[in-house]
Each structure stands twice: as C-alpha cells, then as structure tokens.
Amino acid sequence: MTDEVARIIALREELNRHNHSYYVLNSPRIDDREFDRLMKELADLEARHPEVADDLSPTRRVGSDITRGFTQVAHVYPMLSLGNTYSVGEVDDFIRRTETGLAGETVTIVGEMKFDGTSISVIYENGRMVRAVTRGDGEKGDDVTENVKTIRSIPLKLTGSGYPDMFEIRGEIVLPWKAFDKLNREREFNEEPLFANPRNAASGTLKLQNPAEVGRRGLDAYFYYLLGENLPADNHFDNMMAARSWGFKVSDTMTRLNSISDVDRFINYWDTARKELPVATDGLVFKVNSLRQQLNLGYTAKSPRWAIAYKFAAERAMTRLRSISFEVGRMGIITPVANLDPVLLSGTIVKRASLHNEDIMRQLDIHCDDMLYVEKGGEIIPKITGVEVSERLPGSEPVEFISNCPACGAQLVRVEGEAAWQCPNKYGCPPQIAGRIEHFVGRRAMDIDGIGEETAQQLMVSGLVSNIADLYDLTEAKLMELDRFALKSAERIMAGLRRSLDVPFERVIFALSIPFVGETVAKKLARSVKNIETLMSMPVGQLTAIDDIGPKIAESIVGYFSVDTNRETVRRLQAAGLRMETVTVSETGNSDKLEGKTIVISGTFSLHSRDEYKEMIERNGGRNSGSISKKTDFILAGENMGPAKLEKAQKLGIVIIDENQFLEMIH
C-alpha cells in the first residue's frame, strides 16, 4: 500500500469520527476550518487514486444528525451543504467561476448571513405547514414537526397570497444569544453540562422528545431558500421577499450585490457588524440570484455551484499562562482553570479559561509559562485552543494534573467512563460542603434569605454548619457569636429558615444535591413518588420506570440513599419540619383564602394538572375564568403561556404567579 493510500484510509476514519462528534453528539472535537482542511486533503488524494474509490467515503456525504426516536422522512430535494471560503479573494474567485460557467454572463449575487444553527426543511401544502424535517444525511432526515410547531416565528398557516399549492422552504433554526445565555445559566445552576455554543444548543433542543420543553427554550428560525414548482419569481431575492410576505422570517440583512466591489464591501461591513446581531452567525453566504443561472450552474455531488459560504475567522488572542488552578465543585469534580495575563478578546477582558479536564489539558500539552491561544468564536466561554510552541521558555516543564485534592488532600479518583477526576471525600472536603450548603439555600432550592456564598463559607469554617441539616439547629444566639453578625442579619436568616418549611417537596429533593438530580428530574420524582419514604426505598428498576429517569440517574439516587450520613441528614430535615411529600389536592384543603378572586390559568404545569388547579381554586373560594379581562385578579401561569395572553395581561397590569407561588398562597 502506498503512503497516500494509507493516508486516505486514515483520513476517512478520522473524518467519520469527527462527523459523528459533530452531528450525532453535538460536541465537535475540531473546528470547522480544520475539518474542511482534512476533507479537502482527502478529496484531493481520492481524485489521484480512483482505484480506492468508496461510495461510503466521508467525501460522498454530508454528515448525519439522525437520532433514534424520530420517524425518518426522505427529502424531496436532497439537502446539500455549501463549499467554504475563508478570504475575500476566494469569494471573488467564486464569482468569476460562475461567470465563466455561464459563458461570460454577468451575475447578480445575493449576500446573506450564514446563521449558526441547524438546518430545517419545512413543507407547506395549501398554505398550511405539513411537515418539518432535519437535514439528516442529506437524503433523509428526522421528522421533527411537533417540535418545530413550538417555534413561534415559523408560520403554521401562511398569510398573504401568491404562494404555490405545495412548496418547501429551508432555513436555519437558531437559539438567539439571549435565550442561549438564559438556558446555560439554568444549566449551570442545575450542574448540567453547558452548551458550548448556540448551534449545539439549537440542534440539541430540536431533538428533544418533549415539545413543551422545546417551546420553553425560545428557538427562532430564519429562512433562506425556497423550492418547488410555480414559485412567484424567477430569482432568489424576490422569492424570499414573497416568503417574507407569507409570514416567514427572512433576515433583512439579505442584500443584492451587483459587482465584486459590492461583495467585498458586504464582507468588510458584516465582519464586524454581525456582532450586533441577536443571533450567532459563523459566516456569510453568497448565492447567484437568477434561478435560470442557478439551474445552468447545477451541483457537484456535495454542494451547489451557484452558492458559497465565507467563514468568519474565530476571534483569537495569544497570552501568557500565569498558573493553573484546580477547582473543586459541589460534587467533588476537579476542573483545571488556566489563569492568564489579562487579554482583550471580542470586547471583554479574559483572565481565566477552563481547561475542562485532564484529557483536554494533556492534548494541549501545556508547559509552565507557555503562550496560549484563547478563542471565542461562536463559543461564549473562552477556550484555550493551542500553545505557541516557538515561544516556549527553555527548560519549562509540562503542567501536571494533580493527584490529590487541592482543598482536603484526599487522593483523587477517576469518574467511571469519563475524563473527570473527583475528590471522594464528600463529607470532609470544605468546598464540597460549602458548595452543598450554598446550593441548599439557593433561590431555586430552599430559598433561604440572608445566606449567600460568603455566609455559607463562614458558617462552615466556624463549625456551626457542616451538614445541610445543621442549618435547622441554628439559633439567633449562635449566629450572633459569628463575626459581622448583628441581630438583624441573624433574624433574617432565622425567618428564612422558618419560611423554607413551606418549600414544596420537589425543591427539597433538588436541594439535597443528589448527583444528576437537577430541577426537572426533582419535579418528575416528586410528582411520581409522592413522598420521601418511597423515594428512599426504590430500587433502580422502579426508578427507571419513571418517565425520563435513566439508569445513570436511578443509580445515583439509590447510591445517595445507601449512604448512612445521607439517610440521617434526610431524617433530621424531616424532623425539622421540611416538606417530605407532595401536597395532594385534597390536602390543600378548603379555605376562603381566594374568596372573591377571579383567576385565569394559562400554560402547562409540572406539579399538578390544570384540572387539579381548577379544583384548588374552587376549594379555596376563588373563581376560575377562561379569559383575561379587567376583572381578572391574577394569572396562574405555567410554562409556554400563550403570547397573546401575556400581552393582554401586561397591558392590563395583571399579576402573574407561578405554581409554587400559588401553592404557597393557599397553604
């Protein structure tokens, strides 16, 4: 076998792996530019070696995002990808190529944003949405219609006139920066892995099996291509303007460009201006406007000859590594963090960047005092992407991962099947204890006023609280012995602790810091197990029978309750009076607490059903009404409250409360 053939085989394997990481796992291991470089190298080598041609080579397909659980549907027109360019010169070459391909005709080009999300094909018949399908492998994709219907910016019924009886429209589903930040903040709070960028968040969200959750996350969609017979115009731009008039979101950045200098100006302008857009973009797309010219130019096996993408360079800076610190999280996971000489990157000063875990640290091969590349690109969290080896100081040693916990000295253990190291000293390691206390008192858990990060530390260091149950043994007198504690702050904490006795069971479960039990899982558990006794005695097999509880979560729950300290903690919390069971409708009792109040229910709920809430309103003297008016006293809102209702409520200044607030109200 020649060296070149061996390289072809190695490249095919490597690219298949990257395709899987990118499309299936939503977790790319290399950046797009590097991927394109490898793909080009493979395509060039394959062209030289037809004797090893293979229909299944990664050069012959466009990557798959097919997931189990969705029905697969064949595309009417295959969904291709775009060729990439990285410089103005390459875009100019593309335009010249199209003109040559059209025997010297001039072309009008349409310049567009390349939205960084996940592509979607939506079919409309007689003005109604009938199906939405992901790109999949380009030939067939997943039917995600139910999820797409939750995206409010995509019309279900078209407006205006002039649309063909049947057509397909393609676009990009995106998660706007604001929604992305919100989602990641929630995930951080729940200690769920963060999405690296809005693209991963958008494609991950679109593949959820729970349309209500999809709706909650705030996806959006921009459309950029119309396909079908009897389209309204003979050119792309006018077709898109018609699509806009039918109700589709078509970006108003779409522009007709009549010369190469128009194209160059467009690139220069958007290279910076794109940062002001509400959604992530990773480049621009240039398309030949005339449909006749598009048809003449045709397609290669992978992409149209009439369109090209121009990719923005990721923003990158170089700076010196000062030190690496190893941080211990609430669950004992050790995260290496690079402390850097401050450097300006995309408008913010970066001083620290996570190195995630030992494997990533090793791959980068970081030595002490190295000059490191920091990138932001589409990523919100700065990341270290490489080392400038030519700047390495002579004799500098590689940075080693630690083997003992930096906080308590315990020998670290490797988390099974993962790249993470963990400190096993759960009950004796200070940052883990403080982390659990902070989590327990947090707003979304027990919501105990007056205890923040600093106070949690102080309570632990003083020895007053080394376990969450110790919080309920605090007294004003004990608190006032602490530094900087006056009567007022002590009273505030005591009142907060008393109030926390009314916090619903699901938040108590969440507050316990059971690994992998975030807010959503805690809600599911509370709803189905009803009380702590049942939860504590359930084997893995019974837990996995609950919707959305997989073996990993089930084993973690069983593991947690198999530890004596944890059982003891729960007993003490129970004795202190915390809610250890789900409140049933009849238990909410009858009262006149809602006497004379008119209440509208809107959205979907997780603790009780809509009917149960109706019953509770009536049992407590209130009146449930279906529509909002001046007479409405308040709205009990779940997730996905309709936008029309929300607008009306805001106009009339009506108070909106969530289910927890409602339950507290009638207790």
Question: Which of 168, 172, 519, 581 is close enough to bind ligand IVH by CB under 6 A?
Answer: 172
Q: For residue 378, which amino acid is it?
A: G
Residue closer to ligand IVH (CB basis): 226 or 532: 226
Q: For residue 412, which amino acid is it?
A: L
Are 132 and 71 in contact, with CB atoms under 8 Å apart? no
Among 78-86, 320-328, 462-470, 612-620, which window interacts with ligand IVH (CB under 6 A)?
A: 78-86
* Interacting residues with ligand IVH between 427 and 446 (CB under 6 A): none
Q: For residue 578, which amino acid is it?
A: L
- Identify each DSSP E strand in 329-479 by its residue range: 334-345, 348-354, 371-375, 383-387, 413-414, 421-422
Distance CA 519, CA 509 (A): 9
Among 112-120, 188-196, 230-238, 534-542, which window interacts with ligand IVH (CB under 6 A)?
A: 112-120
Q: How far is the CB of 81 from ligand IVH (least distance, A)?
A: 4
Distance CA 171, CA 663 (A): 42
Distance CA 615, CA 455 (A): 42
Residue closer to ligand IVH (CB basis): 112 or 142: 112
Q: How far is the CB of 169 from ligand IVH (least distance, A)?
A: 12
225 binds ligand IVH (CB under 6 A): yes
Question: Which of 133, 201, 307, 637 is close enough to bind ligand IVH by CB under 6 A?
Answer: 307
Distance CA 497, CA 21 (A): 46
Question: Which of 98, 119, 432, 467 is close enough to bind ligand IVH by CB under 6 A?
Answer: 119
311 is catalytic: no
Residue number of the CB closest to ligand IVH reads 119
List, in order, residues 6 or more apart from 18 with CB less than 8 Å away.
Answer: 28, 29, 30, 35, 38
Q: Which of 600, 582, 578, 516 is nearest to 553 (CA)?
A: 516
Residue closer to ligand IVH (CB basis): 82 or 423: 82
Residue closer to ligand IVH (CB basis): 243 or 616: 243
Question: Which of 112, 168, 220, 379 is close enough to bind ligand IVH by CB under 6 A?
Answer: 112
15 binds ligand IVH (CB under 6 A): no
Residue closer to ligand IVH (CB basis): 291 or 360: 291
Residue closer to ligand IVH (CB basis): 82 or 663: 82
From 114, 140, 523, 645, the catalytic residue: 114
Distance CA 629, CA 648 (A): 8
Question: Which of 43, 52, 80, 482 is close enough to bind ligand IVH by CB under 6 A?
Answer: 80
Q: How far is the CB of 245 from ligand IVH (least distance, A)?
A: 19
Question: Which of 22, 115, 124, 634 is close enough to bind ligand IVH by CB under 6 A?
Answer: 115
- Identify each DSSP E strand in 87-219 by its residue range: 109-115, 118-125, 128-134, 140-142, 166-174
Q: How far is the CB of 251 from ligand IVH (least distance, A)?
A: 8
Q: How far is the CB of 276 from ligand IVH (least distance, A)?
A: 18
114 binds ligand IVH (CB under 6 A): yes
Residue closer to ligand IVH (CB basis): 201 or 553: 201
List, in order, residues 6 or more apart from 578 with CB less than 8 Å away.
Answer: 500, 501, 503, 508
Strand order in the sheet with 255-257: 83-85, 307-311, 281-288, 109-115, 255-257
- Grouping H, G, I as helix, E, B as strand and the rest as coil, residue 317 is strand
Distance CA 622, CA 637 (A): 16
List, in order, residues 6 or more apart from 454 with CB less than 8 Å away.
Answer: none
* Interacting residues with ligand IVH between 284 and 303 (CB under 6 A): 285
Among 46-54, 108-116, 569-577, 578-586, which window interacts with ligand IVH (CB under 6 A)?
A: 108-116
Instruction: For the chain, state the CA radius of gyration.
Output: 29
Among 8-16, 114-122, 412-420, 644-652, which window interacts with ligand IVH (CB under 6 A)?
A: 114-122
List, in order, residues 6 or more apart from 266 with CB less than 8 Å away.
Answer: 111, 255, 257, 284
82 binds ligand IVH (CB under 6 A): yes
Phi–psi pair at 398, nearest 5 degrees = -65, 145
Give, in order, the Cα–Cα distances in Å from 60 to each of 54, 103, 306, 496, 530: 8, 29, 19, 63, 53
Per-residue binding letters, 227-266, with ligand IVH (x by CB under 6 A): ----------------------------------------
Count of residues that interact with ligand IVH, criterion CB under 6 A: 15
Residue closer to ligand IVH (CB basis): 120 or 601: 120
Residue closer to ligand IVH (CB basis): 225 or 516: 225
- Interior/surface letters 537-553, b for 16+ CB within 10 angstroms, e for the rest: ebebeebbebeebeeeb
The CA-based diameter of the chain, rounded to the nearest angstrom, is 91
Q: How far separated are the first and last CA of the chain, in Å rounded?
A: 78
Would you put residue 173 in left (φ > 0), alpha (ψ -120 to 50) or beta? beta
Question: Which of 124, 195, 224, 662 is close enough to bind ligand IVH by CB under 6 A?
Answer: 224
Within 10 A of 106 (CB to CB), how many other CB atoms are there?
11
Per-residue binding letters, 356-395, with ligand IVH (x by CB under 6 A): ----------------------------------------
304 binds ligand IVH (CB under 6 A): yes
Could you list the active site residues?
114
Binding positions for ligand IVH, rule: CB under 6 A:
80-82, 112, 114-115, 119, 135, 172, 224-225, 285, 304, 307, 309
